[in-house]
Structure 1
Amino acid sequence: MAAISPIFPPELEREIFEVAVHSNKNKRFVNFMLVARRVHDWIASDIYCIASQLPQNSFPPRKWGALTTSVEYFGPFVKHLIIGGPSWDHDSLAEFFEACHTVADLALWTHIPIRELRPVLERLSLKRLSANLTGLDFEDLTNSIFASITHLDITRFDRGPHIGWPQWRAFTHLTFLTHLAINEPMDDSDEIIQNLLRGCQRLRILLIIEVRDPWDLKDVPFGDPRLVFMKIQRYVCEDWVEGAKGNEDIWRCAEEISRAKHYGFSIDPGADIPREPIGDLYLRALKCLRGQESLHDAISVSEIFPNGPPPNTLHIVVCDSEILAMGPLLSFHKKLHENVGTRFGSLIPNYSPSDIIGSVAKVNEVFGGINPRIYLGRPSGAPAAIFNWALATLQHRLDHLEEVQVAPQDIGCAAKYLNVAIEFYDDERVRENAIKESIDVALGEEGSWNTQLNWADGIKPRCGWWHKGFLTTLLELKNTVGLAGNPILQAVIGYGKIISQTKYKEFRDFCNFPVVLIGVAENRIDIAIAVCLGDIHVTNLLTLDLTAGFLASDSIVRLARVFRALSSCRKDLALYYNQVAQKTIPRLSSLFPNPTLINPSVVIPGLTYKRFLSRVGQPTSGLVDLNAATALYIATMDGTDKEVVVKFTGRYNETAHRILAIAGLAPELHFCQPVIGGLYMVVMDRVDGKSLCELQANEIPIPSIVALHVHQALALLHAQDLVFGDLQLNNILYDASKDQTHIVDFDWPGKHKVSRYPATLNSDKPWHDDVLPYGIMDKAHDLWLLKRLDKHLLQDFCSFILPRACCRYDTTYYSN
């Protein structure tokens, strides 16, 4: 009898069998393995992926039904191996490792020194290792065994008066090392920990495990989020197995602690707060909120805060559905207005711009930190051009200077500026006098040079161009590049000082204060644009290094075009500020994008923005930080009350989205176009439903139909040679009211074996081994992610369809 071809796509066929194995708790998997060769290999690679060879915990057993389980048989399928105990000798270990040649995650807990196993271990491509490293020298620790290690758990290392940082220094040469655990105290612990944190370039976690002896640490940087102290809470073998399964283990727990430290949380989970006495519970609750204690028993809020929360503290609001229904947008706008006012009031510290620029510490204070108020590429922030048409027009002109038309007088002005800019001057004032006339002519209006602004903390910008009291262009100057600070940074600080003053308070609901910033130093000109959305977002547009000699003509023509673009932008901003002065711009609309399309023949659909969305797609009650890869908003399209989601992102695959939208597996797509600022603007239906992440977090069962929809979606994309790339639980929504699944987030999809993943891909997430930042995309990567989806997705489906599926295969063992 001829074999009957499968009726399902191979990836779906494989998923059905693997879920069937798990849903039957391994009782009948041997029978499934006898169906066909491919089924055998699928199940074997899953069943034998994790192997344990410990005295009290040996897996797999020697006999499983009709299958023998010698290491020669199951070894090639093993990816995670834990092995230990006194019964192993050198030869038996070497033989075992020869068979398990695909192991990438190894826990080696034997008495055999790892140096003696070096020849056989060098043949493995280890990513994770837990082992006793005593006796290894610098050469041993930097050889090929450790070349690809990302997670290293040192169960023991040499100790003694002769052992110090020189021996530990080898770990700083492990170029892929991101996670390092140390299980026992070291001599010179303080020095070694500090040097490891400084020297391991990719280190994300330095885990100090307190097992037996206490650590005597005094001078280590306890505030460093990478440094985590933990105690083993369960049997270490169990912890390792859970990690191999992709579940929570000590590494994942350490990452959560590190993340909490990064955001300023410090919680002692062992502390309890008694409910009595009630008299000082208020103070103890505040300590709890600051992370000094943990409050366990829930009691009446009024008992803890009888007079309401004090100023500048966390507000706890309790309300019912009736209150929530009373004008939510009105309440939202009020909060937004208050939020904007608060942020404007704390934009710039009480230092002068020159004081800030001249001090590294002050620059770090203003532009750095966990919650920066100024986004200048460090961190990134949003492109300023998507919030103002005049700034977008300037960016487009500077990006396409060959399209800017100039007249002979423009060329003459640029030539004059070049001749004086390339000269050397004794100080800034002499340079200023030399260039100011050319600058004023170039911008088409005389600027206000060195005018002290007593109403703005007495600052004295080098030059400002104003319209109806609003700043349109600000220039700062340094005599020499690199000396006395960066002129653009100083211009940003001066801009922040100006717009945060009370004289502009009445305009904050109508204006995002767009401005052009110019930095001049020697023969260099830097041009940036900025807006203020409560935080300042700056975009650097152009750095122009002027040269004479061979390239003088090109420099003059290019500079003339730049000057023409700046002059036009100043006039465009004057038109904008005419509207601001009359307050004809819709209130609070300036906090939302107002993008300009690259293709002027396309029309953006009429939108009324309503709310901000968080990174996970949830409505927020205030401003959101725009320091992410995407920005999300809720809006309504003109002429309808239907809500849509407006998304701005650096890349987007319209084709992939439309394929699934037509099939009802993605929200309807209304608009997708590139805008000036380097982003795509995407408008799609806002669909009801919760992500699979939310369902799992709330312990809500995931219907089996979701699995079928996800497989259909991937099949449709793969049929068009498209790879989705980011098949994570948070990108799959389920609407229980319609029993419908939607795939969202089409930022990544691309052509199979042609397109590339983003260079910013987070390598800490679970990916196929071949997935790399800026790596080539492959359908196999989608299938690997599909396998990682919660196995419960297919349990109901599998129990229904598996008997029918099995009937359609040739039942001869290893027939195909």
Structure 2
Amino acid sequence: MTPSQAAKSANYRMEQSGSNPLYDGRYDDANPAATIAPPVQLYHPVFARFIDDVNNTALEIPGEVLVATADLMHKASGIYQDEDARKSKIRPALKKALSLDITNLVNDDRTSPDGGIMWTISKPEAALDHTVALAIKEEKRELGEGGCDPSTQASFSVQRYWVQHANNALRALCCCPTFLIAFAGPWISVLGAVFTDKCIPQRLTDFIWMGNGSVFNSHACRRVARVLYSLTRSLHELRRYYTTLPQTGPSTRFFPSPKEFQCPGSSTPVRFEYAEPLERDAGCVAFLCKTKEDNQSIVVKFAESYCSEAHAHLAAKGMAPQLLYCGPIDPSPGAPSYGGLKMIVMEYLEGKTVAQVEQHNLPGDFAVQLKKIIGVLHAGGFVFGDLRPPNIMVSKDKVKLIDFDWAGQMGIAQYPLHLSSRIVWPEGVGPLGKIEKAHDLAMLQALINPV
């Protein structure tokens, strides 16, 4: 079915429970499937920079962009008789605000989004002359018209665009970073999308009101202008990326883009390549990697929070893998912040998690070792919070903790907002509640004395 048909509620629900869903976090309530994926900014820094710019109230916006945005907001406030009348006013105004041309785009199967911002990669030496969509736009006369959300339709449109035969070569080389613009009535939203082994569209802004709702409208105009100017800057960056993309060499399609870290006290970065994700789950953000200089196996993961102090405390006693790095994804000057995401690098352990080992194959002193580890952790003033089989490693009969995302100082560390309802948590555990020593001990007992 076409993207506009697939985006309608009943069809969207069916698509999300099928074999090729959008990994946008939505699912069929009657037939849930995992559709959460890693953040798109991990696959390409252009999205991280866009997010930084949008949130930077000190970003200097050119006067002509402010003027063009004010005109666009005025036109978006109109109530139009039909879509053609609206497009005739909105498209030129949006083009002027972005300082980029918006053209028609027709796929091989004759489906067509409402517009695209295109760029031609011309490399005569490589016999390459290919036009790529930097952005795809979908719009509605009013929000809710047509029976679908334009941001969902744009997501299906980018999926349809990149699976075309003409894009096979480019899709094999990279993750196909693309911006999506969803425009309905006086509302606009910007999304980012990548194509790995799946299509991952993610909303980078909410739907933002663009209408003239007050005689005092300067603040709202500056906010919208900042979004549009940030998008322009990011599209220029994306143009440079596609222009300089190597036509040979390893694909950058399936893994995050960060590929180096710097050990504390060293001035030389350690470069690495991704080998495979450590879990089959679509949302996996932990990877087995190989260092380029000496081909050593390491684990690289990404997290919003991580207690490096608790990890280092146990690692010093051989009760956790050695922690090699925990800090910003890219600490270089001028690099995007990645929304505060951290990169964590640790030694790779040969072995299996307790979740992968049959109970009768655990070391005979498993309970003794685990009790000692938790005792050492608590004695150091830390709590763990998530003492479950996937977070405990058995390596050469030695038990080690491997995940410190929730760990923290006793009396301070809190549980995250989202706790799985499929896990039986100890009494008193709840979203944003304090992680208590008693909770760790209760989970410890459940592990060593399973019912």
Cross-structure match for 2:30: none
Q: For 2:217, what is the secondary structure of its paired residue?
A: helix
User: In 2 relative to 1, CA 789–495 (structure 1 residues): closer, same or farther, beyond 3 Å?
Assistant: closer
Aligned mates of 1:647, 1:788 — CA distance in 2 = 28
The residue identity in structure 2 corresponding to 1:486 is: D
Q: 1:612 aligns with which of 266, 272, 277?
A: 277
User: In 2 relative to 1, CA 730–654 (structure 1 residues): closer, same or farther, beyond 3 Å?
Assistant: same
Aligned mates of 1:522, 1:603 — CA distance in 2 = 52
Aligned mates of 2:144, 2:2 — CA distance in 1 = 19
The TM-score with structure 2 as length reference comes to: 0.85
The residue identity in structure 2 corresponding to 1:719 is: A
Aligned mates of 1:782, 1:671 — CA distance in 2 = 26
CA displacement, residues 380-400 of structure 1 (integer Å, 9 cap, x when unaligned): 3221111012222112212x2
Query: Where do 1:435-454 residues align within 5 Å?
Result: 435-448=90-103, 450-451=104-105, 453=106
Query: Where do 1:479-494 residues align within 5 Å?
Result: 479-484=141-146, 485-494=148-157
The residue identity in structure 1 corresponding to 2:382 is: L
Aligned mates of 1:495, 1:690 — CA distance in 2 = 39
CA displacement, residues 721-756 of structure 1 (integer Å, 9 cap, x when unaligned): 3211122233222222xx533211112212323322
Q: 2:308 aligns with which of 651, 654, 661?
A: 654
User: In 2 relative to 1, CA 764–689 (structure 1 residues): closer, same or farther, beyond 3 Å?
Assistant: same
Cross-structure match for 2:263: none
For residue 596 of structure 1, report the CA deviation from its aligned partner: 9.9
1:373 aligned onto 2:373: no
Q: Contact between 1:732 and 1:742, CA under 8 Å: does it hold in 2?
A: yes
CA displacement, residues 643-662 of structure 1 (integer Å, 9 cap, x when unaligned): 01111234322221111112
Aligned mates of 1:666, 1:493 — CA distance in 2 = 43
Aligned mates of 1:490, 1:694 — CA distance in 2 = 40
Cross-structure match for 2:203: 540
Cross-structure match for 2:132: 470
For residue 426 of structure 1, report the CA deviation from its aligned partner: 0.9
Q: For 2:276, what is the secondary structure of its paired residue?
A: strand
Q: 2:221 aligns with which of 553, 556, 562?
A: 556
CA displacement, residues 13-49 of structure 1 (integer Å, 9 cap, x when unaligned): xxxxxxxxxxxxxxxxxxxxxxxxxxxxxxxxxxxxx
Aligned mates of 2:244, 2:185 — CA distance in 1 = 37
Cross-structure match for 2:391: 731
For residue 588 of structure 1, report the CA deviation from its aligned partner: 2.4
User: In 2 relative to 1, CA 790–488 (structure 1 residues): closer, same or farther, beyond 3 Å?
Assistant: same
Aligned mates of 2:152, 2:237 — CA distance in 1 = 24
1:702 aligned onto 2:391: no
Residues matched between the structures, number = 416
Q: Contact between 2:378 and 2:437, CA under 8 Å: does it hold in 1?
A: yes
User: In 2 relative to 1, CA 763–462 (structure 1 residues): closer, same or farther, beyond 3 Å?
Assistant: closer
Q: Which runs of 5+ in 2 are unaligned?
A: 27-34, 121-130, 261-266, 330-337
Cross-structure match for 2:163: 500
Cross-structure match for 1:667: 321
Cross-structure match for 1:263: none
User: In 2 relative to 1, CA 763–376 (structure 1 residues): closer, same or farther, beyond 3 Å?
Assistant: closer
For residue 422 of structure 1, report the CA deviation from its aligned partner: 1.1
For residue 372 of structure 1, report the CA deviation from its aligned partner: 4.6
1:363 aligned onto 2:8: no
For residue 472 of structure 1, report the CA deviation from its aligned partner: 0.3
Q: Contact between 1:443 and 1:570, CA under 8 Å: does it hold in 2?
A: no
Cross-structure match for 1:743: 401
User: In 2 relative to 1, CA 487–588 (structure 1 residues): closer, same or farther, beyond 3 Å?
Assistant: same
Aligned mates of 1:410, 1:570 — CA distance in 2 = 15
Query: Where do 1:723-802 residues align within 5 Å?
Result: 723-736=383-396, 739-790=397-448
User: In 2 relative to 1, CA 352–767 (structure 1 residues): closer, same or farther, beyond 3 Å?
Assistant: closer
Aligned mates of 2:139, 2:18 — CA distance in 1 = 30
Q: Contact between 1:516 and 1:528, CA under 8 Å: does it hold in 2?
A: yes
CA displacement, residues 162-207 of structure 1 (integer Å, 9 cap, x when unaligned): xxxxxxxxxxxxxxxxxxxxxxxxxxxxxxxxxxxxxxxxxxxxxx
Cross-structure match for 1:354: 4
Q: For 2:428, what is the secondary structure of its paired residue?
A: coil
Aligned mates of 2:361, 2:405 — CA distance in 1 = 28
For residue 678 of structure 1, report the CA deviation from its aligned partner: 5.8
The residue identity in structure 1 corresponding to 2:38 is: A
For residue 550 of structure 1, report the CA deviation from its aligned partner: 4.5
Aligned mates of 1:610, 1:591 — CA distance in 2 = 10
User: In 2 relative to 1, CA 571–604 (structure 1 residues): closer, same or farther, beyond 3 Å?
Assistant: farther
User: In 2 relative to 1, CA 410–730 (structure 1 residues): closer, same or farther, beyond 3 Å?
Assistant: closer
Q: For 2:80, what is the secondary structure of its paired residue?
A: coil
CA displacement, residues 337-361 of structure 1 (integer Å, 9 cap, x when unaligned): xxxxxxxxxxxxxx2222333x332
CA displacement, residues 601-632 of structure 1 (integer Å, 9 cap, x when unaligned): x9974211112221xxxxxxxxx452x3x422
Aligned mates of 1:642, 1:571 — CA distance in 2 = 37
For residue 516 of structure 1, report the CA deviation from its aligned partner: 0.5
Aligned mates of 2:422, 2:5 — CA distance in 1 = 40
Q: For 2:175, what is the secondary structure of its paired residue?
A: coil
User: In 2 relative to 1, CA 364–695 (structure 1 residues): closer, same or farther, beyond 3 Å?
Assistant: closer
The residue identity in structure 1 corresponding to 2:425 is: W
For residue 677 of structure 1, report the CA deviation from its aligned partner: 5.3
User: In 2 relative to 1, CA 569–596 (structure 1 residues): closer, same or farther, beyond 3 Å?
Assistant: farther
Query: Where do 1:596-611 residues align within 5 Å?
Result: 605-611=270-276
Larger radius of gyration: 1
User: In 2 relative to 1, CA 659–371 (structure 1 residues): closer, same or farther, beyond 3 Å?
Assistant: farther
The residue identity in structure 2 corresponding to 1:513 is: C
Aligned mates of 1:467, 1:701 — CA distance in 2 = 57
User: In 2 relative to 1, CA 515–404 (structure 1 residues): closer, same or farther, beyond 3 Å?
Assistant: same
Q: Contact between 2:415 and 2:434, CA under 8 Å: does it hold in 1?
A: yes
For residue 460 of structure 1, report the CA deviation from its aligned partner: 2.2
For residue 691 of structure 1, report the CA deviation from its aligned partner: 3.0
Q: Contact between 1:392 and 1:677, CA under 8 Å: does it hold in 2?
A: yes
CA displacement, residues 517-542 of structure 1 (integer Å, 9 cap, x when unaligned): 00111111111000011211111011
Aligned mates of 2:362, 2:386 — CA distance in 1 = 23
Q: Contact between 2:114 and 2:138, CA under 8 Å: does it hold in 1?
A: yes
The residue identity in structure 1 corresponding to 2:353 is: S
1:682 aligned onto 2:367: no
Aligned mates of 1:721, 1:547 — CA distance in 2 = 53
Aligned mates of 1:562, 1:690 — CA distance in 2 = 46
User: In 2 relative to 1, CA 417–694 (structure 1 residues): closer, same or farther, beyond 3 Å?
Assistant: closer
Query: Where do 1:320-359 residues align within 5 Å?
Result: 351-357=1-7, 359=8
Cross-structure match for 1:639: 293
The residue identity in structure 2 corresponding to 1:609 is: Y
Q: For 2:173, what is the secondary structure of its paired residue?
A: coil
User: RMSD across aligned C-alpha pairs, in angstroms?
Assistant: 2.5
Cross-structure match for 2:333: none
The residue identity in structure 1 corresponding to 2:273 is: T
Q: Contact between 1:695 and 1:702, CA under 8 Å: does it hold in 2?
A: no
Cross-structure match for 1:89: none
Q: With CA pairs under 8 Å and 6+ residues apart, which has the higher RCO, 1 or 2?
A: 2
For residue 707 of structure 1, report the CA deviation from its aligned partner: 3.8
Aligned mates of 2:368, 2:6 — CA distance in 1 = 59
The residue identity in structure 2 corresponding to 1:728 is: R
Q: Contact between 1:384 and 1:677, CA under 8 Å: does it hold in 2?
A: no
The residue identity in structure 1 corresponding to 2:48 is: A
User: In 2 relative to 1, CA 731–363 (structure 1 residues): closer, same or farther, beyond 3 Å?
Assistant: closer
Query: Where do 1:108-257 residues align within 5 Å?
Result: none
User: In 2 relative to 1, CA 551–660 (structure 1 residues): closer, same or farther, beyond 3 Å?
Assistant: farther
Q: For 1:714, what is the secondary structure of its paired residue?
A: helix
Q: For 1:759, what is the secondary structure of its paired residue?
A: coil
The TM-score with structure 1 as length reference comes to: 0.48
User: In 2 relative to 1, CA 596–473 (structure 1 residues): closer, same or farther, beyond 3 Å?
Assistant: farther
CA displacement, residues 254-284 of structure 1 (integer Å, 9 cap, x when unaligned): xxxxxxxxxxxxxxxxxxxxxxxxxxxxxxx
